[in-house]
């Protein structure tokens, strides 16, 4: 369907809206990466088959040219939705209009879902989320969702992520239409500046200012580049948006094009996100087919095209100038600035470079206005922020809360507190570029400025929660290992400095730490942070500095006493059999894969520590708890 | 007019259009340390040695920050000293530190800065303590374990020379400078110009040192050792011995004789021969509708570059051998009947000449190269020092007979535009002094990458172009593809011509200008200005060359 005018667009929205409304019940199977890995696509397929076998009308896709009688009253819609965020409980199936959420759904559950829910409108309670004996039928009642405010992720999990028609049915591309037909570029720039939307990629730079700078450039060629190279370990906010609501991202880019005068956009997605790539490709093809991308959009003289560029997996390509270099086919290496990207960006032309989440905020601001947006969150960081919760937390997954929400609320209320019986120890915020926050920081507000004050950063929004069994030196080593691997190698402090920091951290966790290592780490950190060329280098040492600041005694225990207080560093642990407890049953010596345990039956056994590989088989097999880590 | 000022180390300094803080700071008399900054190359900003601190404690890289009115910066604070020391320590901890046996000993930037910043300990283990040599090229030697990844070589190879033989490969601490597919440099499209070695701050890329092998061949009973010295060499040696750059050809001759050469000649003589032959060829092509433009053929790096990138224009390249190879033929003919082994050595400003000497086209019927050794100016200086010759005190001597005469036309071959000027002097019908002067001032001289001029020749005008720096070749080729016509194009691979050759001691642009002035002065002092005025020419054409000009003086690179 080619939409040539505003009328066509309105008409399409109405038609598709009607068809969606006709569906008596909708079954939304989560098709985010996590649930797909859990087999959700098989569930989707079986649902279609089972429903059809019951003789019910099963709607999978809306027709290209919609007609009123395409769908009959009482039809059942079965759709692949974007990520719901509650990945811990996947695969997830949502039932509408009731709003029920089925968790950990298996292929075998499909028959029961169809029989009870689809045919009879009954809830399958055993699939509902349970906590503290309470059963939550409604998705919105689940504590994980109840305290969230989903704006950017509002459609994720609620619409078919693969269909422009469903996006139109819920009023999609209304912001684009408004920006194109009812607003001047200046109006858009003013609205965005007024909204004070700040870049969600980590820097927090005001989007309005960036767009205005590009709009001012005289060059006839300009570009909109979307940074979807989300590389932080444990972060998947952008992926969820690209997979779950791709049209919203396109809409944001198209509005950016109108505001700045750009006619071409690039989305740089990491190749490790194949689903995001295919959803975006599909979305672009659909938008082109509908005439929302291409030449003379909706009968105006405005033209815009979007291309996809897959990143080859370099974290540093998330840095603006490295990203544009990578799109140009060059080595992904940051360059010195000035000139800035807004002046000389992609192909040396003025370029708007925003991350996925930032651009996904744009349509809703155009629709609801800057004033509405500023009513959410604190004055200087309005809006919401998506966070990826990972680590030793009960509810791992993707959440969205107003900026300024306290860390405590995020971890204990939404995240459900620590997993198992662990105690909260720290949370790494901002991934490998961020720092750790500890118990005294729990009431800190999550926004750009509050975090900066305590030496942390929001980064792209990864929250890795750690309990008391986590070794903070090991955490620092993990992140340093990551950054060191991902350093592009250009500037000396980052290339050589991170390597040396990693070397030192490795020797500390291996029990070879030396007196003076902490000071040397801090000296290196200071040099790297102050002199590195790009953001990756400047922030590479943050995890080390913040763990030293908060857990210096753990470093000292490793270095001086050769002990890991949390018992995490295997090299610093020895296994011993308590002769008082050991009954001499020989089980441990039989399960030991390297023959490190020997002894006589009914007498205490012994571990030869020179042979022991610390695999833990003896501990888990001893019925008397006689084997101990010391 | 309102002048813009900024404050550097509490001293106000006027801003006069400097591109970056670094230029301004250096103009203010502060030698800010850098590894990766060259004003002729793009700003890379990787070494981070030139960081400066602003009044709020912020750090900025001077090489990539434009000066702003009212800016206040400090170049030498406790923090900056700490960071610079740490950067140096990090570099040294990953660098083969065998300084005493390194060819760059005493000329290495890393060594210099380590001494300047008083680095007396390295707290990290060094995984690269032993050299890692790639000597697959006849022109340069690489040692990956001495590389500090400043990227100067990569940029000069790509930006200035447009060769692109090397680039960065791999990531992070595994990053290195490599050829495509990590092949040895000798198997790459390297043209041997050596400009990478000329900018390398450490011993990671050095010119191939053949002096050790040469020493072994010298002073043998059964050998006639013959040296020829290229024009550009004579103006680049003096500085190394502590006095101002001037023409020290006489002293070089004296030194070579002491080193053990039996005969020493001036390549300028052969340059005259080149002029004779090339002019003849040019006139012939003009008169008989031959392929034009005629490209000069003196520069072996240019020949290699043309073979790699523009094989279709090889028929346009003059069939004249380079002066070095012409002279080698003549020397071979002259001495081959004497019953001794000929040791033919060329002292050149050039690393690519080593490659030229090794080409199959320039081997005799037994497969022996006509030039046995090419040693660069740098190697000559090493040999003079090694021999214990006090250069400042030796008396100049004259080159040997029978090839002892040369003209100013042959001498100016050493600078960009020189070949063209010499050829025009030869072909021009107007032999007056005024026409000589006109020519000199009408665009053939100067360091611009591309110079163009129209020269009246008989009743028409010929279009001449002088190119230096291989990047500029592409510009001219594209213009030709677009339909533009030239009659004669001189190409010298190295920026500024042979005086800027990679075999010469490292020089600033001002020092290179001085070298060119000294060459033109040498021309002025020559009574004979035109190659055809060289009395030796007639003797050669009537003697050794008679009937064999083509065999001895020409070559075809067309495959």
A547-571 pLDDT, tens digit each = 999 999 999 999 999 999 998 898 8
Q: Where are the domains of chain A?
A: 11-138, 173-374, 384-467, 472-560, 574-629
Whole-angstrom distance, CA of residue B274 vs CA of residue B230: 13
Domain range for B337 = 213-553
User: Would you mind telling me the total number of residues written for chain B in this entry?
Assistant: 559
Q: What is the pLDDT of residue B429?
A: 72
Of A301, A468, A484, A66, give the one whose Cα is nearest residue A476. A484
For chain A, how long is the longest CA-to-CA vector?
91
Closest-CA residue of chain A to B149: A490
Kindly state whether residues B189 and B240 are assigned to the same domain: no
HSE-up of residue B275 (Cα within 13 Å, Cβ side):
32
Residues B392, B394, B397: CA angle, nearest 5 degrees: 125
**DSSP three-state, residue A553:** helix
| Residue of B251, B353, B354, B451 marked active site | B353
Kindly state whether residues B400 and B478 are assigned to the same domain: yes
Q: What is the pLDDT of residue B524?
A: 82
User: Would you mind telling me the total number of residues written for chain A in this entry?
Assistant: 630
Q: What is the pLDDT of residue B533?
A: 84
Is A384-467 a domain of CATH 2.40.50.100? no
Per-residue pLDDT tens over the stretch B169-209? 999 999 999 999 999 999 999 999 999 999 999 999 999 99
Kindly state whether residues B400 and B456 are assigned to the same domain: yes
Write down the CATH number for the domain with range A574-629: 3.30.70.20
**pLDDT-based confidence at residue A46 (cuts at 50, 70, 90):** very high
- Mutation target vs B (from A329, A531, A533; most B CBs, 10 A cutoff): A531
**pLDDT-based confidence at residue B442 (cuts at 50, 70, 90):** low
The CA distance from A482 to the nearest CA of chain B, in Å, is 11
Q: Does the residue B95 lie in any domain?
A: no
Domain of B71, CATH number, reads 3.10.20.740
Q: What is the pLDDT of residue B553?
A: 93
Closest-CA residue of chain B to A524: B86
Kindly state whether residues B459 and B516 are assigned to the same domain: yes
Inspect the interface and report whether the beta carbons of A495 and B149 lie closer than 8 Å.
Answer: yes
Closest partner residue to B64 (CB to CB) among A314, A336, A495 is: A336
**Alpha helix segments (H runs only) across B338-470:** 352-357, 377-386, 408-411, 418-427, 433-439
CA distances from B67 to A57, A531, B4, B13 (A): 72, 19, 9, 10
Kindly state whether residues B358 and B319 are assigned to the same domain: yes
**pLDDT-based confidence at residue B302 (cuts at 50, 70, 90):** very high
CATH T-level fold of A11-138: Glutaredoxin (3.40.30)
Kindly state whether residues B60 and B144 are assigned to the same domain: no
- Mean predicted lDDT score pLDDT of chain A: 93
Per-residue pLDDT tens over the stretch A442-477? 999 999 989 888 878 888 788 999 999 999 999 999
Q: What is the pLDDT of residue A63?
A: 77
Whole-angstrom distance, CA of residue B275 vs CA of residue B530: 9
What number of other Cβ atoms are within 10 A of residue A455's Cβ? 16
Q: What is the pLDDT of residue B61?
A: 96
The CA distance from B146 to the nearest CA of chain A, in Å, is 14
Q: Does the residue B82 lie in any domain?
A: no
Domain of B196, CATH number, reads 3.30.70.20
- Residue B434 in this model has a pLDDT that exceeds 90: no
- Residue A378 in this model has a pLDDT that exceeds 80: yes
- Residue B440 in this model has a pLDDT that exceeds 70: no
Across B99-112, average pLDDT: 95
What number of other Cβ atoms are within 10 A of residue A41's Cβ? 15
Per-residue pLDDT tens over the stretch A79-104? 999 999 998 898 999 999 999 999 99
Inspect the interface and report whether the beta carbons of A336 and B61 lie closer than 8 Å.
Answer: yes
Higher pLDDT, A247 or A457: A247
CA distances from A362 to A155, A199, A341, A601, B409 (A): 15, 11, 20, 73, 71
Measured between beta carbons, which residues in chain A are less than 8 angstroms from residue B47? 491-492
Q: Does the residue B107 lie in any domain?
A: no
CA distances from A16 to A24, A29, A466 (A): 15, 20, 46
Per-residue pLDDT tens over the stretch B315-349? 999 999 999 999 999 999 999 888 899 999 999 99
| Residue of B240, B278, B514, B533 marked active site | B278
Q: Is B338 a catalytic residue?
A: no
Of A544, A587, A293, give the one whose Cα is nearest residue A435. A544
Q: What is the pLDDT of residue A187?
A: 97
Q: Is B474 a catalytic residue?
A: no
Kindly state whether residues B192 and B254 are assigned to the same domain: no
Q: Please tell me the pTM assigned to this model.
A: 0.92
Domain of B385, CATH number, reads 3.40.950.10
Whole-angstrom distance, CA of residue A614 vs CA of residue A593: 10
Please report the ipTM that was assigned to this predicted complex: 0.92
Kindly state whether residues B222 and B342 are assigned to the same domain: yes
Across A365-388, average pLDDT: 95
DSSP state of A393: B
Q: What is the pLDDT of residue B378?
A: 96
Kindly state whether residues B342 and B356 are assigned to the same domain: yes
What number of other Cβ atoms are within 10 A of residue B557's Cβ? 17
Whole-angstrom distance, CA of residue A153 vs CA of residue A399: 8
Q: What is the DSSP string of A8-24?
A: HHHHHHHHHHHHHHH-S
Q: What is the pLDDT of residue A313?
A: 82
Per-residue pLDDT tens over the stretch A502-540? 999 999 999 999 999 999 999 999 999 999 999 999 999
- Mean predicted lDDT score pLDDT of chain B: 92
Q: Does the residue B15 lie in any domain?
A: yes
Closest-CA residue of chain B to A496: B90
Q: What is the pLDDT of residue A35?
A: 93
Mean pLDDT is lowest, of A254-258, A558-562, B95-99, B286-290, for B286-290
Q: What is the pLDDT of residue B2?
A: 65
Q: Is A480 part of the contact surface with chain B (CB cutoff 8 Å)?
A: no
Inspect the interface and report whether the beta carbons of A331 and B45 lie closer than 8 Å.
Answer: no
**DSSP three-state, residue B436:** helix
A472-560 and A11-138 share a CATH fold = no
Kindly state whether residues B64 and B50 are assigned to the same domain: yes
Write down the CATH number for the domain with range A472-560: 1.20.1440.230
Kindly state whether residues B196 and B226 are assigned to the same domain: no
B→A contacts (Cβ < 8 Å), by residue, are: 43-48, 51, 59, 61, 63-66, 79, 82-83, 86-87, 90-91, 93-94, 123-125, 148-149, 151, 167-168, 170-175
Q: Is the dihedral of CA A409, A414, A416, A422 positive or negative?
A: negative
Q: What is the pLDDT of residue A478?
A: 95
Tell the CATH superfamily of the A173-374 domain. NADH-ubiquinone oxidoreductase 51kDa subunit (3.40.50.11540)
Inspect the interface and report whether the beta carbons of A533 and B86 lie closer than 8 Å.
Answer: no
Provide the number of structural domains found in chain B.
3
DSSP state of B461: E
- Residue B245 in this model has a pLDDT that exceeds 70: no
Kindly state whether residues B54 and B200 are assigned to the same domain: no
Q: Does the residue B282 lie in any domain?
A: yes
DSSP state of B2: P
Q: Is the dihedral of CA A576, A578, A583, A584 positive or negative?
A: positive
């Amino acid at each position: 369907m080619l939409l040539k005018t505003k009328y066509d667009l309105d008409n399409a929205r109405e038609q598709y809206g009607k068809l969606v409304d006709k569906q008596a019940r909708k079954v939304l199977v989560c098709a985010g990466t996590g649930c797909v890995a859990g087999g959700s696509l098989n569930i989707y397929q079986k649902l279609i088959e089972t429903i059809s076998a019951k003789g019910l009308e099963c709607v999978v896709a809306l027709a290209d040219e919609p007609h009123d009688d395409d769908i009959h009253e009482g039809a059942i819609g079965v759709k692949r939705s974007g990520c719901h965020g509650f990945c811990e409980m996947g695969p997830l199936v949502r039932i509408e209009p009731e709003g029920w959420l089925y968790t950990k759904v298996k292929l075998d559950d499909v028959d029961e879902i169809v029989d009870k829910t689809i045919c009879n409108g009954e809830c399958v309670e055993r699939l509902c989320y349970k906590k503290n004996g309470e059963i939550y039928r409604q998705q919105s009642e689940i504590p994980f969702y109840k305290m969230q405010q989903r704006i950017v992720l509002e459609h994720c999990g609620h619409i078919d992520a693969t269909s422009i028609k469903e996006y139109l049915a819920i009023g999609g591309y209304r912001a684009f239409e408004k920006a194109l037909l009812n607003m001047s570029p200046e109006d858009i720039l003013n609205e965005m500046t007024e909204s004070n939307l700040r870049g969600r990629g980590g820097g927090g730079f005001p989007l309005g200012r960036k767009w205005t700078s590009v709009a001012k450039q005289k060059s006839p060629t300009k570009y909109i580049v979307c940074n979807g190279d989300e590389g932080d370990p444990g972060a998947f906010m952008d992926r969820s948006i690209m997979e779950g609501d791709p049209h919203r991202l396109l809409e944001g880019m198209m509005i950016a094009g109108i505001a700045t005068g750009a006619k071409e956009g690039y989305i740089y997605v990491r190749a490790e996100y194949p689903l995001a790539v295919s959803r975006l490709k599909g979305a672009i093809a659909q938008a082109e087919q509908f005439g929302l991308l291409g030449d003379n959009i909706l009968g105006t003289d405005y033209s815009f095209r979007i291309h996809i560029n897959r990143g080859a997996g370099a974290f540093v390509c998330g840095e603006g100038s490295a990203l544009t270099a990578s799109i140009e086919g060059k080595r992904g290496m940051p360059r010195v600035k000035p000139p800035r990207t807004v002046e000389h960006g992609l192909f040396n032309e003025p370029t708007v470079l925003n991350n996925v989440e930032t651009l996904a905020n744009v349509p809703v601001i155009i629709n609801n206005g800057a004033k509405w947006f500023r009513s959410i969150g604190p004055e200087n960081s309005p809006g919401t922020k998506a966070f990826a919760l990972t680590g030793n937390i009960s509810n791992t997954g993707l959440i969205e809360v107003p900026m300024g929400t306290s860390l405590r609320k995020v971890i204990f209320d939404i995240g459900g507190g620590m997993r198992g019986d662990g105690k909260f120890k720290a949370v790494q915020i901002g991934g490998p570029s961020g720092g750790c926050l500890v118990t005294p920081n729990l009431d800190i507000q999550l926004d750009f400025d509050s975090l900066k004050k305590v030496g942390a950063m929001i980064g792209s929004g990864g929250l890795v929660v750690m309990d008391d069994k986590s070794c903070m030196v090991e955490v620092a080593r993990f992140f340093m290992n990551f950054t060191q691997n991902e350093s592009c190698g250009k500037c000396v402090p980052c290339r050589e400095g991170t390597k040396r920091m990693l070397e030192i951290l490795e020797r500390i966790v291996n029990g070879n730490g030396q007196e003076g290592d902490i000071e040397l780490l801090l000296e290196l950190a200071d040099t790297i942070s102050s002199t590195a060329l790009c953001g990756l280098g400047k922030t590479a040492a943050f995890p080390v500095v913040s763990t030293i600041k908060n857990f210096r005694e753990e470093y000292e225990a490793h270095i001086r006493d050769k002990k890991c207080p949390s018992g995490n560093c295997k090299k610093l642990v020895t296994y011993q059999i308590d002769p008082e407890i050991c009954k001499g049953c020989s089980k441990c010596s039989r399960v030991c894969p390297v023959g490190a345990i020997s002894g006589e039956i009914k007498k205490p056994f012994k571990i030869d520590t020179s042979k022991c590989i610390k695999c833990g088989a003896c501990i888990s097999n001893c019925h008397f708890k006689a084997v101990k880590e010391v | 007019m309102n002048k813009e000022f900024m404050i550097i180390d509490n001293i106000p300094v006027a801003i006069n259009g400097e591109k970056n803080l670094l230029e301004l700071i250096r103009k203010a008399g502060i030698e800010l340390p850098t590894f990766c900054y060259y004003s002729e190359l793009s700003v890379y900003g990787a070494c981070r040695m030139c960081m400066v601190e602003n009044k709020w404690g912020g750090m900025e890289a001077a090489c990539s920050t434009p000066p702003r009115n009212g800016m206040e910066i400090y170049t030498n604070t406790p923090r900056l000293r700490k960071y610079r020391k740490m950067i140096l320590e990090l570099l040294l901890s990953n660098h083969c530190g065998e300084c005493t046996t390194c060819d760059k000993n005493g000329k290495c930037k890393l060594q210099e800065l380590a001494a300047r910043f008083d680095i007396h300990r390295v707290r990290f283990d060094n995984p690269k303590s032993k050299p890692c040599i790639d000597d697959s090229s006849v022109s340069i030697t690489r040692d990956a374990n001495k590389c500090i990844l400043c990227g100067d070589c990569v940029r000069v190879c790509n930006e200035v020379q447009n060769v692109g033989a090397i680039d960065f490969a791999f990531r992070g601490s595994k990053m290195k400078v490599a050829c495509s597919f990590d092949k040895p440099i000798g198997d790459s499209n390297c043209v041997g110009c050596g400009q990478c070695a000329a900018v390398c701050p450490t011993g990671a890329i050095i010119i191939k040192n053949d002096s050790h092998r040469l020493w072994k061949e010298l002073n043998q009973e059964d050998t006639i050792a013959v040296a020829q010295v290229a024009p550009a060499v004579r103006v680049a040696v003096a500085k190394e011995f502590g006095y101002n750059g001037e023409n020290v050809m006489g002293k070089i001759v004296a030194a070579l004789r002491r080193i053990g050469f039996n005969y020493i000649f001036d390549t300028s003589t052969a340059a005259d021969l080149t002029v004779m032959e090339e002019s003849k060829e040019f006139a012939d092509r003009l008169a008989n509708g031959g392929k034009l433009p005629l490209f000069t053929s003196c520069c072996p790096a240019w020949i290699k570059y043309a073979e790699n990138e523009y094989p279709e224009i090889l028929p346009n390249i003059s069939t004249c051998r380079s002066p070095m190879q012409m002279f080698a033929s003549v020397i071979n003919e002259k001495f081959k009947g004497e019953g001794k082994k000929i040791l033919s050595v060329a002292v050149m400003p050039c690393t690519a000449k080593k490659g030229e000497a090794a080409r199959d086209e320039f081997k005799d019927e037994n497969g022996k190269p006509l030039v046995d050794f090419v040693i660069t100016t740098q190697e000559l200086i090493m040999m003079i020092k090694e021999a214990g010759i006090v250069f400042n005190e030796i008396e100049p001597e004259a080159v040997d007979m029978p090839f002892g005469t040369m003209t100013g036309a042959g001498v100016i071959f050493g600078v960009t535009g020189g070949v063209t000027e010499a050829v025009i002097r030869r072909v021009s019908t107007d032999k007056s002094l005024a026409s000589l002067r006109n020519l000199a001032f009408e665009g053939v001289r100067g360091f611009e990458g591309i110079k163009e001029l129209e020269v009246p020749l008989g009743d028409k005008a010929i279009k001449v172009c002088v190119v230096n720096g291989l990047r500029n070749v592409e510009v001219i080729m594209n213009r030709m593809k677009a339909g533009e016509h030239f009659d004669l194009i001189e190409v010298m691979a190295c920026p500024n011509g042979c005086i800027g050759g990679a075999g010469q001691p490292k020089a600033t642009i001002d020092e290179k200008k001085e070298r060119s002035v000294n060459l033109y002065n040498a021309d002025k002092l020559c009574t004979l200005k035109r190659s055809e005025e060289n009395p030796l020419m007639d003797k050669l054409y009537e003697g050794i060359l008679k009937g064999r000009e083509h065999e001895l003086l020409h070559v075809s690179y067309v495959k």
